[in-house]
Amino acid sequence: MTLQNQHILIGITGGIAAYKICELIRMFKKSGADVKVIVTPNALNFVTKLTLQNLSQNDVYEGEFTPKNWKPEHISLADWADIMLIAPATANTIGKIVQGIADNLLTSVACAFSKKMIIAPAMNCNMWQNVAVQNNLNILEGRGVEILPPDNGFLACGYIGKGRLCSLEKICSAVDEALNYQQILKGKKVVITSGGTIEDIDPVRYISNYSSGKMGLSLAKTAYDMGAEVVLVTTKDVEAPYKVTKVKSALDMQNAVNNEYDGSDIIIMAAAVADYRVKNYSEQKMKKGGNENLTLELVKNPDILAELCKKRQAPLPNPLPQGARENKIIVGFCAESENLIENAKEKISKKGCDFLIANDISRKDIGFGSDNNEVTIFDKNGGINKLEKASKQVIARKILEYITNE
């Protein structure tokens, strides 16, 4: 592990495992990191400021109203850090972070922090199993926070169960991996689409599909962890530390993606875009009348992906507009229920993208709505690479590593 010149901000909350963080600080220091420590008032019941100060070779931060420079402490610490680790994290602090409560220096920094955050909880096993605690952790995970679950074993409260802080080695390697991982797409802007578009028929009815947006969301989260500036254009409600543009129809989606086109390095179209929309939207709820049958006339939606690829082929303006990027990678997805390989090969050449990720949407255990996927990556030069069934998070990581050649 080498963490040379990396800025690690450790938040210690009021749990007995706080004493273990003294050793953790030494481990980070030995591997070259610059470490600063914030303590909650309760943490100081378990460790002293003097110990933490000696080990980190930095001031230890506790109060918000004694800043060491002109900037408010919670902002300067958030700006300084490359990563924030909260260990041990109590149920109380986890709950506050979820709610955006900023009532001490640690929770204020967490509220202001927009980079990678890792949380290592430690608490009594019954507290760990509490539904509110588990829900809070799920919410944080959904926002891109990495949770290092506690281990099983003897607990300081006398119980045996899940609740003791995970091993220091595990924390170190998670921090090391996150910091290295953050470099892969640093400086790159990645635009991702997700969810099924919604094509209104009248004020109460619409045409859509079963896309849950999970595949696109996993790609966005992973690209963010890899250090990219991420824009997620989605039909779903998403809370995230990166830019999210909520859209409804295919036309809205096209508009939003086009707005991001110039400045993007990678565009991934994981959304299930409706091929057609109704020709005449009815401003009023459509009435049954005496009709036994109803015919809706549909018109073709633009093919967003194909048009992006066409746009890329056009000569670039000289000089390039400010912030515009050359050499874009454009990736499509391909939802097939039969003849996956033949259809995907045809689609990649028709659309003109660099990669096409094909998945079989006739299977219930992958594709639409599932937490898992199994995909085959086709590249424009004829290369084919199958990714075996795994969680969408793992598939997202493998896709991003593959298309960026990592």
Comparison of 91 and 271: residue with beta carbon closer to ligand PMT: 271
Closest CA to 3 of 75, 83, 65: 83
Residue 231's φ and ψ, nearest 5 degrees, are -125, 120
Number of residues that bind ligand PMT (CB under 6 A): 26
Q: Which x/- pattern, by CB under 6 A, does the window 122-161 give for ligand PMT?
A: ----------------------------------------
User: Contact with ligand PMT (CB under 6 A): which of 3, 267, 304, 340?
Assistant: 304
The region of 128-136, 155-163, 332-340, 396-404 touching ligand PMT under the rule CB under 6 A is: 332-340
Catalytic annotation, pick one of 157, 166, 309, 334: 157
User: Contact with ligand PMT (CB under 6 A): which of 36, 214, 277, 397?
Assistant: 214
Q: How far is the CB of 253 from ligand PMT (least distance, A)?
A: 8
**Which distant-in-sequence residues (6+ apart) come within 8 Å of 99 by Cβ?**
none
Q: Determine whether 44 is exposed, middle or buried from the number of CB atoms within 10 Å of its CB (0-12, 13-18, 19+).
A: middle
The region of 8-16, 91-99, 131-139, 331-339 touching ligand PMT under the rule CB under 6 A is: 331-339
Comparison of 165 and 340: residue with beta carbon closer to ligand PMT: 340
For residues 236 and 142, what is the distance between their CA atoms, to the nearest angstrom? 13
DSSP run (H or E) holding 387: strand 384-391
Q: How far is the CB of 324 from ligand PMT (least distance, A)?
A: 21
* Count of C-beta atoms within a 10 Å radius of residue 290: 5
Comparison of 35 and 361: residue with beta carbon closer to ligand PMT: 361
Instruction: Give how far Cα 186 sits from Cα of 142, 260, 262, 296, Å.
Output: 22, 18, 18, 47
Looking up tokens 């000289």 gives 318
Q: Residue 330 interacts with ligand PMT (CB under 6 A)?
A: no
Comparison of 18 and 340: residue with beta carbon closer to ligand PMT: 340
Closest CA to 344 of 331, 333, 329: 333
User: Contact with ligand PMT (CB under 6 A): which of 368, 387, 393, 396?
Assistant: 368
157 is catalytic: yes
154-193: which residues touch ligand PMT (CB under 6 A)?
none
For residues 138 and 117, what is the distance between their CA atoms, to the nearest angstrom? 14
Q: How far is the CB of 225 from ligand PMT (least distance, A)?
A: 18
Q: How would you classify the pairing of strands 116-121 and 146-147?
A: parallel
The region of 2-10, 31-39, 56-64, 300-308 touching ligand PMT under the rule CB under 6 A is: 300-308
Q: Residue 369 interacts with ligand PMT (CB under 6 A)?
A: yes
Looking up tokens 């096209």 gives 254
Q: Residue 346 interacts with ligand PMT (CB under 6 A)?
A: no
User: Contact with ligand PMT (CB under 6 A): which of 40, 367, 378, 399?
Assistant: 367
Q: Residue 348 interacts with ligand PMT (CB under 6 A)?
A: no
Q: Residue 359 interacts with ligand PMT (CB under 6 A)?
A: yes
Q: Residue 361 interacts with ligand PMT (CB under 6 A)?
A: yes
CB-CB contact of 231 with 191 (8 Å): yes
Looking up tokens 């924390």 gives 171
262-281: which residues touch ligand PMT (CB under 6 A)?
269-273, 275
The region of 5-13, 103-111, 175-183, 211-219 touching ligand PMT under the rule CB under 6 A is: 211-219
Residue 400 sits at the vertex; the CA angle it makes with 339 and 359, to the nearest 5 degrees, is 15
Closest CA to 396 of 203, 181, 180: 181
The region of 134-142, 148-156, 258-266, 329-337 touching ligand PMT under the rule CB under 6 A is: 329-337
DSSP single-letter state for residue 212? -
For residues 405 and 168, what is the distance between their CA atoms, to the nearest angstrom? 32
For residues 396 and 342, what is the distance between their CA atoms, to the nearest angstrom? 23
Q: How far is the CB of 391 from ligand PMT (least distance, A)?
A: 11
Closest CA to 215 of 398, 404, 23, 14: 398
Q: How would you classify the pairing of strands 298-300 and 276-278?
A: antiparallel
Q: List the catalytic residues.
A: 157
Binding-site ranges for ligand PMT (CB under 6 A)? 194, 211-215, 250, 269-273, 275, 301, 303-305, 332-335, 359, 361, 367-369
